[in-house]
Structure 1
Amino acid sequence: MNNFNLIDQPWIPIRWLNSATDNPTLVSLHDAFTRAHEIADLDCLPHERIALTRLLVCIAHAALGIPEDAEDWLDIDFGHDLQSTAPSYLQREDIHPHFNLLGDGPRFLQSRAKFSSTDVGYPLSKISFHLSSGNNPKLLDHWGEDPRPWTEPSAALTLLCLQNFFVGGSMASKVKGNGPALKSLQMILLGENLAQTILKNCLDSETLRSSGNGLGSPSWEGQADTQLLSRLSPTPCDLWLTDDLSRILIEQGTQQPECPAYRDPYATIEPIKDKDDRLLRAKPGQGIWRDLHLLTNLNKAQGQNAALNLQAFNERKEIGENTPLWVGELIKAKDAKIEDATESTFTVPHKLFSDEGRHLYASGIEHCDAISKKLYGAIKFYGTTLSQEKPPIAEGQKHYWHTLDQEHRKLIAMSATPENYLTQIGSEHADDPWTLSVRQAARQAYDAVCPRTTPRQIQAYTAGIKPLLRALFPKEKPPKGAKPQSTQANLNL
């Protein structure tokens, strides 16, 4: 039986910097480090990117150690020998066997201690979040009850993702706790190549201690703990793959504490007024860009809520004119099922990490949220006037936000030069790109779902749009004692 060692065998999907056709689409852990400067990026699904990045950072820290602080990072040139030190670490006699996917000896993120020969387990497809299995249908997957053919690379990646995102439920109701990467938006700093991406997401001791945690040891070096490296190589489940890759056995593993007991290094804290802070999460059906000002909060006076990797990156003075960020999450529903996966990539200007840039960005989000509520009321009033049982509110909201999803880069660009926009977004005299985009999106959404071809429809359209226009084109209150001037909105009927 082939043990399929993950250090030597290709299983990590990547994209190369050059376009040469002889470069493989899968690489081993050894090649992922030795050729890291030639690899552009990982090439995988959102949850796979999170799990793989956490593993690569874990190996980097295990091989290189951890700098004491930002100055120490620069003094020792942390990571200059990543391409040689990490592969040497992986080839150590006490490390290499622990990356076998199969075999009778130690296995990668697996343990057989709690299983007997009579245990049946579950089909391997049942732990793959994007595949259908049993009563878990998928839109793009229609495989029946017949066993699926599995390859070692896909089985290894599926196993790694399960340990990072274990969600429990009927499959393993006896296992308590979730995977450490679950229930939070995960931020990954992107570099020009895979080597830079790995190093940008490494931490220093000072930043790590600020969250009340230590480095610890990877799970393959001994007994798993609840510190950083064990969370990056998690074993919330004791797993064992059958030799034919058809089934997997599951038992209780090392339960990892969750927020607020432990703060995940790639998660952002979302401050809630008069409540305990919580991890920022993706909202189904809502673009991640609407929370970008929370993701970039590096203000110590406000609790420095940004992810720890971004804090450490900032302390090293490496934030440049533009910083590429990847943000994504595997979204868990309330019934212990995976609901969706979401991801976004941003090129964040330097000023968006400052109070001025974030304030402008936040005011832009507040404005489009306020207009969304006015659009809701306008469409509802239109429907009520026509005695509609169900006004097309949902359709209008979808149209509005879909338009702004395509325009949100204008708001990011504005935050790069907040000093150029002295007039408040959405105010009477505002003519900035974001105010104009919000006005256009609201009018187009209202027009799309509120037809005006009959006299009754025209009457309802006019009645509904008046409050919307007053919100889109507000008038400043005149000084006390001044006589109001009569104005009439242009309805563009």
Structure 2
Amino acid sequence: MLKNMGGKSKIENTFNLVDEPWIPIENKGYVSLRGIFKKPYPQALGGNPVQKTALLKLLLAICQSAYTPEDDEDWDAMGPDGLAKKVPPYLEELRDCFWLYGDKPFLQMPAIKKKILARKNAELTSGTKEAVAESNAQPKDIGPGYYPDLPSDNNTILTEGQISHKLSDAEKALFIVTLMNFAFGGKRVEKDLEPFTQGYSGKTVSAKSGPSIGNHWGYLHSFITGSDIINTLWLNMFTQEYIEDSSMFKYKKKVLPPWERMPLGEDCEQARKLRDSYMGRLVAMSRFVLLEGDGIYYAEGIQYLSHKNGWREPSMCVNENTGKLLWVDPHKKPWREISSLLSFLSAKDDKFTCEQLAYTLKRIKNKKMNIGIWSGGVKVRANSGDQSIKQDDDFVQSETRIVSSYLEGGFLTLEQNINRLEKLSDYLYKIVSRYCNELNLNAASYAKSAKELFWQLCERKYQKLVDISLHDKDGDAESIGKYFIHCVYTAYDKSCPHKTARQTQAWAHNYARVKNFYEKKENKAAVL
């Protein structure tokens, strides 16, 4: 909206993120930034796993900007309620930095309109038809909004959810926040724009993906969750001492967040600070954008390294010896990776480390706190320079609830029990494959479906398995062990048809293998 001010047009500030509800809360609707820090504190962030991660990062960036504890002692003394008191004054002081629309819109780059106009004039000068040049200068369609991406012009619409619709201001705000860290790589950015940093030559026709999503399958991110959002934020905050000691961040001094000081271009001083700092991990300006009407001007922003070049985020799980990462896998829920996520607790040399989990758990290991280990992300694939969601790609997330003081002593038992479930799963795959081979069926397809069903059944009692492993409840171990045996029987029975005579013969033959497997003493003992 424009207002005439003595012959000059001024954009009106509207929709302030401090005041307006736009943050999704699980089973509660939306709250404002101010509402996050009001009692009773909201319990958990809503949205899909990528939106949750982006929102948590943004809220952490706001908390760290309001107050970064000097060391662990300072962090502990502050506590969750202390944090909740420190942030609101910061939001009030910087309220004018949180307008979604206006002269300085939140996490947006108004200068992009000048670049678009310059390109349009250049096209007209070169002989491009006026209608074509005008069409190229229009903002792009945002799409459904739940993916941090713009729709491709030739997308095949398969479901109603893929149809673009007019987004509310709350949905646009969430889209902008998610986009900064998780933008899909591809060619849907504005083309032939002059770089914002004069002489910058790092861009191609295909924009790099946001640093939090990666350029391969999709990074798996993990955080500690508390009893409510304020506890979660407090648990995951870093101290200045930790930031300075970490090898993850090249720039270790305090960096103004982008809502206080936006970068002027791809390689200006502020851009380099955001690229190399902890603040840049929390709010990465990977796209330079501007909301316009129901659309968006959309250009590639700061370019970040990938994991292949040494990029690390605290919430990523990395094996520093091999460089291997934990990726998102829709066929393997994150709870099945709990042994890897927590392997820093073991004495093994070859182990994964998630800095976000390791640092937080170290600080609270002597506190009897009921916490969660949450992991999530989205599986993507790349084709001809574009990242997209196709076929069986999907969002994944899971949470494991533990008592922090029990974890260190019970981790070995938990790791052994998860490994035993993997052993059962592998054996199930083997016997279903044998059944299929006897009938000349596609063994891989049947066995894969059987394993997926097995793990779906196991998930129902997974939290119970965690509790038994950490609390050493021998009496419950026997009953849950029988349940997991039943999961193997059920998955085999439902995955292997036995209606015809030949099917029944093959089914019975391999069912006997299952029975013999469990009658062996060592396998009975290995259930739990």
TM-score category, normalised to shorter length = 0.7 to 0.9
Asked if 1:212 is matched to 2:211, the reply is: no
- Rounded Cα–Cα distance in structure 2 between residues aligned with 1:395 and 1:403: 12
What TM-score do the two structures reach when normalised by structure 1? 0.80
Give the counterpart letter for 1:316 in structure 2: R
Q: 1:247 maps to what in 2?
A: 295
Contact 2:145 2:172 in 1 (8 A): no
- Shift, 1:289, TM fit: 1.5
Contact 2:144 2:163 in 1 (8 A): no
Q: 1:19 maps to what in 2?
A: none
- Aligned residue among 417, 422, 427 for 1:369: 422
Contact 2:333 2:397 in 1 (8 A): no
Asked if 1:198 is matched to 2:233, the reply is: yes
Q: Secondary structure at the match of 1:108?
A: coil
Asked if 1:337 is matched to 2:388, the reply is: yes
- Shift, 1:415, TM fit: 1.5
What pairs up with 1:172-183 in 2 under 5 angstroms?
Answer: 172=189, 174=205, 176-182=207-213, 183=218
- Rounded Cα–Cα distance in structure 1 between residues aligned with 2:55 and 2:338: 24
Q: 1:98 maps to what in 2?
A: 97
Q: Secondary structure at the match of 1:432?
A: helix
Q: Secondary structure at the match of 2:226?
A: coil
Give the counterpart letter for 2:509 in structure 1: A
Contact 2:80 2:231 in 1 (8 A): no
Contact 1:211 1:263 in 2 (8 A): no
Asked if 1:316 is matched to 2:366, the reply is: no
Greater Cα offset, 55-64 or 203-212 = 203-212
Asked if 1:53 is matched to 2:56, the reply is: yes
- Rounded Cα–Cα distance in structure 2 between residues aligned with 1:300 and 1:376: 29
Contact 1:371 1:471 in 2 (8 A): no
- Rounded Cα–Cα distance in structure 2 between residues aligned with 1:130 and 1:237: 11
Contact 1:204 1:312 in 2 (8 A): no
Deviations 1:100-152 (A, max 9, x none): 2122x2221111334323433420116641899451536451536xxx32221
Q: 1:185 maps to what in 2?
A: 220
Contact 1:36 1:194 in 2 (8 A): no
Closer, same or farther: CA 139–346 of 1 in aligned 2, 3 Å: farther
Closer, same or farther: CA 348–91 of 1 in aligned 2, 3 Å: same
- Rounded Cα–Cα distance in structure 2 between residues aligned with 1:142 and 1:254: 29
- Aligned residue among 7, 12, 22 for 2:23: 12
Q: Secondary structure at the match of 1:444?
A: helix
Contact 2:149 2:183 in 1 (8 A): no
Closer, same or farther: CA 470–362 of 1 in aligned 2, 3 Å: farther
Q: 1:162 maps to what in 2?
A: 179
Instruction: Indicate the percent of aligned positions where both proteins have the same amino acid.
Output: 24
Q: 1:26 maps to what in 2?
A: 30
- Rounded Cα–Cα distance in structure 1 between residues aligned with 2:146 and 2:500: 53
Closer, same or farther: CA 352–262 of 1 in aligned 2, 3 Å: farther
Aligned length: 447
- Rounded Cα–Cα distance in structure 1 between residues aligned with 2:20 and 2:299: 27
Contact 2:435 2:507 in 1 (8 A): yes
Q: 1:378 maps to what in 2?
A: 431
Contact 1:200 1:313 in 2 (8 A): yes
Where structure 2 has 5 or more consecutive residues not aligned to the other structure, the ranges are: 2-11, 121-136, 190-203, 262-269, 524-528
- Shift, 1:306, TM fit: 4.5
Judging by fraction of residues, say which structure has more helix.
2
- Rounded Cα–Cα distance in structure 1 between residues aligned with 2:334 and 2:394: 14
Contact 2:291 2:297 in 1 (8 A): yes
Deviations 1:389-446 (A, max 9, x none): 667334323332221122222321222134859xxxxxxxx97345423321111222
- Shift, 1:342, TM fit: 1.4
- Rounded Cα–Cα distance in structure 1 between residues aligned with 2:104 and 2:379: 32
- Shift, 1:466, TM fit: 3.9
Instruction: Give the superposed CA RMSD.
Output: 3.2
- Rounded Cα–Cα distance in structure 2 between residues aligned with 1:307 and 1:164: 18
Contact 1:11 1:26 in 2 (8 A): yes
Closer, same or farther: CA 101–292 of 1 in aligned 2, 3 Å: same
What TM-score do the two structures reach when normalised by structure 2? 0.75
Contact 1:179 1:234 in 2 (8 A): yes
